[in-house]
Amino acid sequence: MKQQFVFPTVLYFDQDNSNYVVAFPDIDVFTEGATVEDAFKSAKDYLTAYLKFSLHLQNDIEIASNYMDVKNNHVNDIVLLVDAEINSNVEEQKLASSNIDFDILDD
């Protein structure tokens, strides 16, 4: 079964590191890239990985905040929507057959 997820993110330029950072306020995940495009692609990859591991570990997935609520809290920042579509049945089978030790993620 395919599931579509869309989360608001905050994009800003980190002057100390001279790169772009994308923050997911709902899931407390941050990623970065040398360009806006790299940061956005990384954000999509991180969201997909987060969702796949959450499903595998049978963790509840946070409900995404309303875009306007995030925008109103970050009036001086750029707020983007990042999406990920995953096939939960296929991902469960792939992760179950992988050699990843998921017990270390529970610590």
Q: What is the pLDDT of residues 66-84, one digit of tens each?
A: 999 999 999 999 999 999 9
pTM of the model: 0.77
DSSP 63: P
Give all strands (DSSP E) within 1-107, no chain letters. Answer: 2-14, 19-24, 29-33, 78-87
- Report the chain's mean pLDDT, rounded to a whole number: 86
Bridge partners of 13?
20
Per-residue confidence band for 18, with pLDDT thresholds at 50, 70 and 90: very high
3-state secondary structure of 88: helix
pLDDT at position 91 over 50: no
